[in-house]
Structure 1
Amino acid sequence: MITNLLVANRGEIARRVFRTCRSLGIATTAVHSDPDAAAPHTREADTAVRLPGATPADTYLRGDLVIGAALAAGADAVHPGYGFLSENAAFAQAVLDAGLTWIGPPPAAIAAMGSKTAAKALMAAAGVPVLAAVTDPAEADLPLLVKAAAGGGGRGMRVVHRLDELAGALTAARAEAAKNFGDDEVFCERYLPTGRHVEVQLLADTHGTVWAVGDRDCSVQRRHQKVVEEAPAPGLPAELRAGLHAAAVAAARAIGYVGAGTAEFLLAEDGRFYFLEMNTRLQVEHPVTEAVTGLDLVALQLAVAEGEKLTGEAPEPVGCAIEARLYAEDPAQDWRPATGTVHRFELRSPHDEFTGRGLRLDSGTGNGDEITVHYDAMLAKVVAWAPTRPAAARRLADALARARIHGPATNRELLVRTLRHPAFLAERLHTGFLTEHAAVLTAPGGGAGELAALAAALADAAGRRTALPSGWRNLPSQPQVRRYRAADGAEFDVRYRLTRDGLQAEGHPGTVLESADAERVVLRTGQLRHAFDVARHGDRVYVDTPAGATVLTALERFPDPAAHTDPGALLAPMPGTVVRTAAVVGDIVTAGQPLLWLEAMKMEHRVTAPADGVLTELLVTPGRQVELGTLLAVVQRKP
């Protein structure tokens, strides 16, 4: 019997595993890096062991330190979560060699699926349909997908639309694969831009039972990483669904699989499916399967590791569950990750944490936490269950729209628009969904705009109020003025007076102020009553309404003319490491041409020329770490 479990991970997955351990009476041990010393997962564990350092390479990827932590804390089992060392066969074997219980498949099964090329050959031999690797790209149909053989999470992947792009894509993919996985092997396969990403949840015990625990659609992706997942996969004919489940079970049996895992498939438009890979671990999207089946997959992982037998059949799914991954990133800026303090993260709709049907929140982020460049940018997973798919989408969209999220930029608005998009609701899903609908999903706006700015100004005035309302005068006077900039760049000049006759706001005739304090403003326009919750952190003002949120930056009334940046100057959009450069001083460049790449939060981000011109300065080299706002290069624009 397991008595003390160490989770070799961080964030929401560590908290998720701890949640089940508490219900089973199992003591918990966390490991943490220095930036995670006060993180929620560290605070919640019964015992926490420090891994000195900040970067994953120095901490969570050090298997020797993790095993040492388990032994020091008296843990008798290790759960790897996902990511980091979760699919590292050598680490799994080292855990077993240390006399600890490994919550996962046998090391041999992990090794068998560790290389995508080797896995394809093994699956083909087992009769599972595979998308064959391309041996001669010059004779293959375009586009092609370059993939890292040992990769995952979208890293080491490049789409090639023209053959002259192939050499550069191979070079970049090899470099990224070597850096992230210690293996630079890459291969090419046919890219299906409108294929669907469908996967089957597997659970197998040590007695020969293998369950196919339903399926999921994970087609809504950005940069080959999942953003929205749902169970069951919608619109699959019964015969196709049965074929997917049978292929997944065959894949598990072919490698002697034990524990929880996922077989991932690409579903082509013609209805044929192809094996992509097998994830030998728990998946980020496992909550949707739990919601529709009522199972606790972590509890079943632990039971299997203790030698228990799966009894009966896997339960049939009931209703529909949809999961949205909330990231600290800006979709309109090429998914640029964001860092900074999370001042407030509050899901205002009634919900449970890590369990239950209805609305569920899995998060490793709390108020006051810092989002750093060291780890993945995901803040939380929000999951909604309902009897029908449209009802689940509506519940999830509403919960996200009403949430209070104060801090770094997030993809919240994109998620809400996706869940309400006619194509999503009509089940027209494929891996290029976000690209196809990018113009709508990332368009400016979505908040209350000018009325939100007026509410922000009135809340600011109320916060400064002493005996009389700010701006109140017995005689006519100049209006109060506040200036704000919205996230999309729109600027608002708010001008108003508070008189004996009430609010007089320029541009808002007839608007009535019902009440105002530093945190809440209620306005009425005609017959409509508008309530605004307002919070200010530094120069950022967050205005929340039931319909959505508006983020404003308070501007100086009279800007400093010295605060001006050369339009040709390229500043680091985030802290990160320069991975490579693609130009030298003196090069003639064109607008949008990549000049260098920054790596942050496990992703690479292009820094491009702002206009046609000449690269006159390049101030960084590969390997250099830069802070937000660091001057990287200067392009002298053409006259």
Structure 2
Amino acid sequence: MFEKILIANRGEIACRVIRTAKKLGIATVAVYSDADANAQHVKLADEAIYIGQSPATQSYLQADRIIQAAIDTGSQAIHPGYGFLSENDQFALACQQHNICFIGPPVDAILAMGLKATSKALMEKAGVPLTPGYHGTNQDAEFLKQQADEIGYPVLIKASAGGGGKGMSLVERSEDFLHALASCKREAKSSFGNDDVLIERYVIQPRHIEVQVFGDMHGNYVHLFERDCSVQRRHQKVLEEAPAPQMPSDKLDAMRQAAIDAARAVDYVGAGTVEFIVEQDGTAYFMEMNTRLQVEHPVTEMITGEDLVEWQLRVADGEPLPKLQHELQIHGHALEARIYAEEPEKGFLPAIGKIDYLRYPTQNQYVRVDSGIVEGDEITTFYDPMIAKLIVWGKNREAALIQMQHALSQFHVDGLGNNIAFLEKIVRCDSFKQAKLDTNLIQREEQFLFSPAHIKPELVVATAFIEFLSKLDNNHSSQKQLWQAQPLWRLNVAYQHSIKLNYLNQNIQIKFVAAEQGFNAEFNDQTFHISGELIDQHSASIQINATQQRLAFNRSSQGITLFHTGQSYKFDYIRQDFNQADSQAEQGHLKAPMPGVVTQLLVGANHTVKKDDILMTLEAMKMEYTIRAPKDGVIVDAYFQVGDQVKVGDELVEFQAAEEEVA
């Protein structure tokens, strides 16, 4: 077995590999950029080597620097993780040339499966079913449009070198094709350095199911069953599960065998994932093969009891597969939720900033958290905004769903937007509970999933009371119970105090009046009897109208956040200048919803535009975001050019609506 390996990655996957390496007694070397100087993977590794500035192109994609780091530290092998250089054939070849083991498949297998067009041709030859489409070399825009017209709409445009939902676009009308093609090519070039695309017929209500395969150097191949990854936003996975629910057994058998055939066709070694687009009747079409470990591999580990990173290390060291097919069995059901710093209600825009407060659910044999983030860390524009992966297991799918719902309710993040409440809604929605799965589930259930979170009056009062307790506790730290901390009657008048907060841009005032065994709280023409105490800085025991409950919260300089049943309710402190800004000043000024780079500018001063016309595009975290006209009107001015970096809130375009009179 290897004595020392270098992990050419960051974040949770680097931490994940380090954990297994330590279990096997293997020393580890981390690499890091400026942004990751204090990251968890750097602290967990035995050694850490600086490889460059924060942008991935200047650090984690610098193959020469990573290989030199391996040489300098005496590392015998490099584990690429996922993303970055994990599917880069030139990097794998360079490792080979420097006598460093690449913990992944052979170079030829990466080459064969690395380009979607090439892999589809290979799979077609091997008899693996494909969706109708064009995967040739002619990349002329008009030719590709002609192919799409012949295939019939809707079609998917996909980056040939792509993955992770990047460089992909659904086109429903012929007249939209060329614009979508240009956008896909820009994103593909930025993400993968290759702007070739392929065109496929879009399968209506498709499921996205993938099969985990493994091969060794001795000609052995196994599958470790499948994962359903149908729940997606922007073509990126949100929730994954194993095994795939409600699939005919004969269709599953055929899919698993097709995955083995695909691996065998390229003499595959190591961990790989064969992805299929699946019709509602279970008919599967080959989509692509990912020649690396997948983000969602933990659900496979949970149902098989196998450590897939350990398998990777043993196979790369020349050992045979730890188990053969007849020795592998499914035990129970597992779900994985990806916890992202993003704002679902704003089109899943990434949320950038510092994590002020972070509490993971209790981990045990049923609940697992994979993360490279701790409280106080920054989510930046340089890398994927994932905070953690939450993985749960149950004896069946129903039990796993209950575990997931409970674990999400214990997962608390404050300081920046996140998708925990959104995930909790998915787990509760009927379509997901009944396993009516397809890649359009989020759009289909958007009314339920994106409905605003309504907070009960009792919780508003409880939050204000916690704020009251916290303020008093700062002055009377030795006495937690409020009625012990102050004289409650002065000159025969009951002690009273008001708390003012702002929730969803509405000012709230709650008056607490001392009463027998607590306080009466007046809110929304209702009176609540409340008592309780702080347990610690982030939890309180509150009794309101005879109902006792323990509530979790976080206080910051900006306000107080209450965590309750998977939801987080943020209350802001009211400043003296609150709500004095002239809302009219915001009209006509289109501002950047997130930091990024301007990749396209389609308008200038005095341009006349129609509602929803595209004005410009921004790129952040390798994803493109479109800025559109809010209504018919005229562009007064555009303040940035292509290539400019913008910050959140920067004014991009000054816009005058058609009905407005020119001054």
Task: Provide TM-score, normalisation by structure 2.
Answer: 0.91
Cα deviation, 1:374-424, whole Å, max 9, x if unaligned, reads 000111100001100011011011111122212211110111111111111
Percent of counterpart pairs with the same letter? Answer: 38
Shift of 1:120: 0.5
Cα deviation, 1:205-235, whole Å, max 9, x if unaligned, reads 0111010111110000011111100110111
Q: Distance in 1 between matches of 2:512 and 2:333?
A: 51
RMSD of Structure 2 on Structure 1 (CA): 2.1
Shift of 1:547: 5.8
Shift of 1:345: 1.8
Counterpart for residue 614 of structure 1: 634
Counterpart for residue 624 of structure 1: 644
Q: Distance in 2 between matches of 1:520 and 1:235?
A: 41
Q: Distance in 2 between matches of 1:119 and 1:569?
A: 47
Letter in 2 for 1:345: L
2:381 corresponds to 1:362: no
SS at match of 1:226: strand
Counterpart for residue 92 of structure 2: 92
SS at match of 1:629: coil
> Where does the alignment leave 5 or more consecutive residues of structure 1 unmatched?
none
Q: Distance in 2 between matches of 1:289 and 1:147?
A: 27
Alignment of 1:116-127 (within 5 A): 116-127=116-127
Counterpart for residue 498 of structure 2: 480
Q: Distance in 1 between matches of 2:150 and 2:512?
A: 72
Alignment of 1:530-541 (within 5 A): 530-541=549-560
Shift of 1:513: 2.1
SS at match of 1:361: strand
Shift of 1:124: 0.4
Q: Distance in 1 between matches of 2:486 and 2:631?
A: 48
2:509 corresponds to 1:494: yes
Q: Distance in 1 between matches of 2:566 and 2:206?
A: 33
2:400 corresponds to 1:392: yes
Cα deviation, 1:14-61, whole Å, max 9, x if unaligned, reads 000001000000000000001100000011000000012010000000
> In structure 2, do the counterparts of structure 1 residues 569 and 304 end up closer, same or farther at CA, with 3 Å as the change threshold?
same
Alignment of 1:85-234 (within 5 A): 85-134=85-134, 136-234=147-245
Structure 2 contact 161–196 (Cα < 8 Å) conserved: yes
Letter in 1 for 2:56: P
Structure 2 contact 420–566 (Cα < 8 Å) conserved: no
Counterpart for residue 36 of structure 1: 36
Alignment of 1:433-452 (within 5 A): 433-445=441-453, 447-448=455-456, 450-451=460-461
Aligned residue among 408, 417, 420 for 1:412: 420
Letter in 1 for 2:116: K
Aligned residue among 329, 339, 360 for 2:352: 339
Structure 2 contact 521–530 (Cα < 8 Å) conserved: no
Shift of 1:244: 0.3
Structure 1 contact 455–521 (Cα < 8 Å) conserved: no
Letter in 2 for 1:169: A
Q: Distance in 1 between matches of 2:8 and 2:442?
A: 33
> In structure 2, do the counterparts of structure 1 residues 520 and 302 end up closer, same or farther at CA, with 3 Å as the change threshold?
closer
2:476 corresponds to 1:458: no
Shift of 1:289: 0.4
Moved more, 541-550 or 282-291: 541-550
2:547 corresponds to 1:528: yes
Letter in 1 for 2:345: A
> In structure 2, do the counterparts of structure 1 residues 563 and 32 end up closer, same or farther at CA, with 3 Å as the change threshold?
farther
Aligned residue among 333, 354, 365 for 1:320: 333
Counterpart for residue 287 of structure 1: 298
> In structure 2, do the counterparts of structure 1 residues 472 and 577 end up closer, same or farther at CA, with 3 Å as the change threshold?
farther
Cα deviation, 1:614-634, whole Å, max 9, x if unaligned, reads 221210111111122211112
2:608 corresponds to 1:598: no
User: Aligned residues, how many?
Assistant: 631
Q: Distance in 2 between matches of 1:391 and 1:470?
A: 51
Structure 2 contact 156–199 (Cα < 8 Å) conserved: yes
SS at match of 1:72: helix
Letter in 2 for 1:137: A
2:438 corresponds to 1:430: yes
Letter in 1 for 2:185: R
2:509 corresponds to 1:509: no
Counterpart for residue 59 of structure 2: 59
> In structure 2, do the counterparts of structure 1 residues 253 and 119 end up closer, same or farther at CA, with 3 Å as the change threshold?
same
Counterpart for residue 300 of structure 1: 311
Letter in 2 for 1:504: N
> In structure 2, do the counterparts of structure 1 residues 288 and 617 end up closer, same or farther at CA, with 3 Å as the change threshold?
same
Shift of 1:534: 2.7
Q: Distance in 1 between matches of 2:607 and 2:488?
A: 56
Moved more, 332-341 or 309-318: 309-318
> In structure 2, do the counterparts of structure 1 residues 588 and 420 end up closer, same or farther at CA, with 3 Å as the change threshold?
same
Structure 1 contact 457–482 (Cα < 8 Å) conserved: no
Cα deviation, 1:317-371, whole Å, max 9, x if unaligned, reads 11000000010001110011001111222123x315xxxx411110011111000
Shift of 1:119: 0.7
Shift of 1:79: 0.4
Shift of 1:505: 2.3
Structure 2 contact 359–411 (Cα < 8 Å) conserved: yes
